Structure 1
Amino acid sequence: MNLVKLSWKYLTFRPLSTGLNVLLLALGLAIITVLLLIQDQFEKKMNRDAAGIDLVVGAKGSPLQLILSGVYHIDFPTGNIPMDEAEKLSKNRLVKNIIPMALGDNYQGYRIVGTNHDYPALYDAQLQSGELWKKPFEVVLGWEVAAKTGYNLGDEFVGSHGISEGSHEHDENKFRVVGVLEPAANVLDRLILTSVESIWFTHDEHDEEESEHADSTAEHEGHPGSDFQESVAMKGFPHSDQSRELTTLLIQYRNPMAAIQLPRLINSGTSMQAASPTFEMVRLFELLGVGITLLKGLAVVIIGISGLGIFIALYTSLRERKYDLAILRAIGASRAQLMLLIFLEGIMLTFMGAVLGILLGHSFLSVIISQNEQGVVSSLQPWIFLKAELWIVVYALVVGVLASMIPAFAAYQTSIAKQLTKA
């Protein structure tokens, strides 16, 4: 007697009831699958993007906003900081290395980041083609930017003012692509990197008070900004004869004592604020954890309802099939085989629900990513399967076994004589 085949026949005999129970279970498991994928990849990506950065310094405001804008480039900056204070901080004995960043422009929503060569070196970035920038308005494209825009070495484009897409263009100066980075699976993939001076000179063109200076420097060597010093700006801290501003400073500590002294020194003794990526990410994960817990709770409720539905379906079906079970007993089936028959039905239902739920979860995440072409969500991989998803299958099978226990025990107690006499 093939119990597996017989169980399958009983399930397909009521396709609507079977399909509804499978779908309800799959929806709950799909929610858990999406949460697992997002939580795993999001935490790994956040930790990877913040690796090597001990402290972020910027304008006063929200520390979390400062981290999100300066490290992950997914929020608006808190403002700008004076260049003289940044230079003074760069000479502090507690600072091992300081990476300046100037923000304020974008191209098709991808942020143009003014910085020095230490920034791509922080992530051990490798060039797919070309070289790093050497002059103002030379840029290096992240892999995702190059893939989405189709730009390659020598191509030119005009940046737009502001962090988000849709602002007016800086058509006075064009950026020229001199390099493209290899895929790095980090924040560099979606950035356009250039020198700090490029950002300064771009905004000089729109500053009426400095328009005469911009015109005169534009004639010098074919690039605006005669105060540009390649040896200093590319390999260290940018210098300028004018009063300039930066957006963010990424700092690496010289020794463990810096973690205690430097943030307090900056927050209390300057007009800037310091924020720790590690501390702020812990806070962020705690905030997100509340929402994730609620969604997981909703998924458990849905799975519980589906388990109840499977129990009702099996119990109702059992009452209608008592005569069939009695016939099976009469032709030689044991009580244990009848019991196993019911368990197989519950396990088959939940296994199909688990497989469908996992596939639905990955599909839902794929749709979400397709609707967010930029930002952190766009960098997630929807078709990566985690080991933790195996526990989803196990969890579903446990639900099937529990839902089948009472109907299986009732099948075990089926009386041949009583049922055949009724017939």
Structure 2
Amino acid sequence: MIRSAATSLRQSASGRHFITGLGIGQITSWGTLYYSFPLIGEAMGRDLGWSKAEVFLAATIGLLLAAPAAYPIGVWIDRGHGRTIMAGASVLAAAALLGWSQVSELWLFYALVGVLGVLQAAVLYEPAFAVVARRVGATQARNGITTLTFWGGFASTVFIPVVQILLDHLGWRGTLMALAAINLGIAALYALVIDRERDAAEQDSAREAVARRPSPEAGALPARPLRDAMRRPVFWLLGLAFTAYAATFSAFTFHLYPLLLEKGLTAAEVVTAMMMIGPAQVAGRLFIWRLAAGASVARIGCLVIPAFPLTLAGFELLPVTLAVALALVALYGLANGIMTIVRGMAVPEMLSREGYGALNGALALPGTLAKAMAPGAAALLWQASGSYDAVLGAAILGAAILVVSFWLAAAVCQREGQPG
């Protein structure tokens, strides 16, 4: 009877609060596992006498280890294990954060942050998107993914001040213990709202799409989504676009604070400007939700993506006052918020309605590697050149590659008659 009541409660909560639960999880997972790192790392480095390079090498290790985990995690979610993966990864994240709170040796710090990097691949946007696509079907996933990104957009706005308050009162070790406890709560939430029995492996829309395909020749093997996708230019063009985006986004995000200081803003002005990113991201996603719900993801991407090189060029060419920084950061946040939806919906609308998790994981893998390497590469470029002008030049080039490759992907997709 107890098991029956628990199952009934989970199914009821799963039906009513599925996206809300995942959204709360995204705020928390991004806030505790990603945005908290620079603040905690700075405090820990001062306390233990580690250099900034030693501390931030851990972030690169974590991001690098997340890359090969993306694809198998997507496959496991496609097979119906989303609840186990996301809830289990949150429990493991709590254990890793608790272990981190006790470190005094650099090698152990690297090992634990490496584990957290792998776990990020199991709890952040890509797995959550795959769980949504599995629940409602890939063709109906846009509303759920868009809503999910509304929640995630506020992760930095919520958790950066929360982590700072915890650091001020508990120190970095106590802060990590608190974040570990929060992740245990999120594990329970994921277990409650993700119901494996209701997340069918193949939704009707996907089966209909398969039924409409020409029958394979006699003796041919059944098609697999990833194998089929890799035969199409759109797959490789999207992979190039998303890899360029990941590198540009990562380098710019990690170096925005020192870049604006170098441009002459005070620390308070820089923080004020950076506070615009979260609300601007949500504003962009709200625009898609309300005003562009019927537009194809290819068209949305083609219109919005040029904002990235324009923003970076503005930082390079314009005199950066607080007003200019606010405007450019807002434009960047707006475009980035919309880009999250474009990434989430590109697979079903431009590639295939089957195997969402596997395809999304495959596209995310090189981007995750680029995201891991870009901050360090930008730091080396700054060290070699002595200013952020060279870094901005490289970022503008990366953003230009993003624009051209996505435009080409959209053109090829239109020529092939795909839904995008």
Of Structure 1 and Structure 2, which has the larger fraction of its residues in helix?
A: 2
Of Structure 1 and Structure 2, which has the larger fraction of its residues in strand?
A: 1
TM-score (norm 1): 0.21
